[in-house]
Each structure stands twice: as C-alpha cells, then as structure tokens.
Structure 1
Amino acid sequence: MPIIKILPHPEYCPQGAQVEAPSGTSVCEALLDNGIEIEHACDMSCACTTCHVIVREGFASLNEMDESEEDLLDRAWGLEPNSRLSCQAILAQKDLTVEIPKYSINHAKEKH
C-alpha cells in the first residue's frame, strides 16, 4: 500500500503525518480515514477547491486530471503546477508527499 506523507499544517496536522491507504483511494479519503480532517465542502464531488493539496513528491503516479478538475483548480488559493484536488487524485502504487495549503476559499468552515 502506498504511504502518504503529509507535511506539517498548523490546523490539520501540526507535526505532519504519515498514512497508508490502498491504491485506488483518493487522497482526500485516505486523509479523512486516518483522522486528518481536510476540508471537503462539496463532499468530494469535484465542485469546490477546499480539498486542494500540493503534491511535493509522487505527482506523476496519480491519475490524470480531467477538465472539470483543471477548471476548478484555477480558483484554488496558492495554486502551483503540482496542485491537485485531493478528492480527485487517486493513489496508484507510489508513495506521495503532500502539502495542505495554509488557506482555502472556504470562508464559512464548520466548527470554527
């Protein structure tokens, strides 16, 4: 099973984290299943950008982006060439390193 290394984020995982998930799982599902409560305002339906991550290692191993993901990413805060919506990024066999951006476009987060 591939391992996802999550770089430290002040809110979601201050110390950073490492999680294991089966191939075929989205990065968002893998994080949520392992207690990292990344935002996902559209319930992982590719309709927002709140689950945006920057893939620091392993980007090429992920599935290809479709047009709707590409269009949405243009609205993401802190967009970089190796950005993905974690709900659409599907794990293959390779390990990943991801960074959760400091901010998202969600101005009305629950529980805050």
Structure 2
Amino acid sequence: MPVIKILPHPEYCPEGDRIEAPRGTSICEALLDNGIAIEHACELSCACTTCHVIVREGLASLNEQEEEEEDMLDRAWGLEPQSRLSCQAILADTDVTIEIPKYSINHAKEKH
C-alpha cells in the first residue's frame, strides 16, 4: 500500500503524519479515512478547490489531471505547478508527500 506523508499543517495535522491507503483511493478519501479533516466543501465532486494540496513528492505516480480539475485549480489559493485537488488525485503504488496549503477559498467554514 502506498504511504501518504503529510507535511505539518497548523490546523489539520500540526505534527505531520504518515498514513497508508489502498491503491485507487483518492488522497482526500485517504486523509478523511485517517482522521485528517481536510476541507471538502463539494463532497469530492470536483466542484470547488477546498481540498487543494501540493504534491511535493510522487506527483508523476498519480493519475493524469482531467480538464475539469485543471479548470478548478485555476481558482485555488496558492496554486503551484504540483497542485492537485485531493479528491481527484488517485494513488497508485508509489508513496507521495503532500502539503496542505495554509488557506483555501472557503471563507465560511463550519466551527470557525
């Protein structure tokens, strides 16, 4: 099973983490299944950018971006060449390292 290394994020994962997830799982699903409550306002339907992550290692092992994801990413805060929507980034057999950006475009989060 591939490992996702999550770099420290002050809100979602202050100490960072390493989780395993089955091949074919989206990064977002893997995070949520392991108690890392990344935002996902559109319920994993590629209709927002709240689950935006930056893939620091292992980007080439993920599935290819489709046009819909590319279009949505144009709206993401802190966009980088290695940016993906975690709901659309599907794991293969290679480990990945991700960074969750400090901000998202979702200004009306619950519990804040």
Q: What range describes the TM-score normalised by the shorter chain of this pair? A: over 0.9
The residue that corresponds to 1:110 in the other structure is 110
- In the TM superposition, what is the alpha-carbon distance from 1:110 to its structure 2 partner? 1.0
Is 1:37 matched up with 2:37? Answer: yes
- Aligned pairs (5 A) from 1:36-75: 36-75=36-75
Residue 21, structure 1, aligned to residue 21, structure 2 = yes
TM-score, normalising length: structure 1: 0.99
What is the match of residue 89 of structure 1?
Answer: 89
Q: What percentage of residue pairs aligned between the two structures are identical?
A: 82
Cα displacement (A) at 1:111: 1.4
**Aligned partner letter, 1:16:** G
Unaligned runs of 5+ in 2: none
Whole-Å Cα distance in 2 between the matches of residues 42 and 14 of structure 1?
A: 24
Name the amino acid aligned to 1:82.
Answer: Q
Q: Offset at 1:54?
A: 0.1
| Shift, 1:78, TM fit | 0.3
Q: Which runs of 5+ in 1 are unaligned?
A: none
Displacement after TM superposition at 1:20 (Å): 0.3
Give the count of matched residue pairs: 112
